[in-house]
Amino acid sequence: MSKAWDEIKALHKQSTFGAKEGLAFKYFSRPLASLILYFIKNSRVTPNQITILSLIVGIAGSIVHMTIWTWWGLLLGGALFMLAHVLDALDGQLARQRKAGSTIGMYFDFFIDEVKAYLMYIALAIRLFFQVAAPSPSGDLPFGGQPFSTPTWMLDEVGAWTGWGPQWVMIWSLMGLLGLSLGISCTQFLKLKDWKEAFP
């Protein structure tokens, strides 16, 4: 067991060397990805196959968020999104471990990541719209779910909605979608190796 653990740590160091990462990658996704990497490093699984699998898991998480309107559905959808995040770390680590990284693979991974980001955002916006802004008159939700209780800060003195009607949720969602698009464009620009040369 000790030998296996030492090998996992060595794999983690090798497969994450030089990788740009945020806190979620560094302390959550990459350690778990290194554990999975230990078991698949000699398999026929390719980095691009893992990238596609992360998309499938992300789609599943989006479907859960849009259809299972319970607290358990919220947790399950979130867990699937985090699993997709781990797989997103794993594809790059496998490529580095096999020294099989490529520019095409990097941009394919980036493309899939942004598809997942859009899916997650749209799924949560739809969930918010139907659960908070425009709940059904009967209160019935799929799979026996119950609508969330309304936070008091969303109500005025007489208990009416304050800026959280259907039209406002749509406006906030569109603004957020614009912000997401700008963020993706910025990330795409910063991935260019020579972008700093344009600003001497």
> Which one, of 133, 155, 147, lies nearest residue 74 by Cα?
147
Mean pLDDT, to the nearest integer, of 24-28?
A: 77
What three-state secondary structure class fits 195? Answer: helix
Q: Provide the domain limits for residue 39.
A: 2-198
Burial class of 138 by CB neighbour count within 10 A (0 to 12, 13 to 18, 19+): exposed
Q: How many domains does the chain have?
A: 1
Q: Is the pLDDT of residue 19 over 70?
A: no
User: Tens digits of per-residue pLDDT, 116-171?
Assistant: 988 988 898 888 777 765 555 444 444 444 445 444 444 444 444 445 566 667 77
What is the pLDDT at residue 144?
A: 43
At position 95, the amino acid (one-letter code) is: A
Mean pLDDT, to the nearest integer, of 107-115?
A: 88
pLDDT tier, 188 (very low <50, low <70, confident <90, very high otherwise): confident
Q: Is the pLDDT of residue 51 over 90?
A: yes
Angstrom distances, CA of residue 153 to CA of 91, 128, 159, 170, 196:
42, 16, 10, 19, 45
Mean pLDDT, to the nearest integer, of 53-70?
A: 93
Proportion of the chain above pLDDT 70, given as a percent: 74
Task: Give the domain CATH number at 90.
Answer: 1.20.120
* DSSP single-letter state for residue 147: P
What three-state secondary structure class fits 140? Answer: coil
What is the pLDDT at residue 157?
A: 47
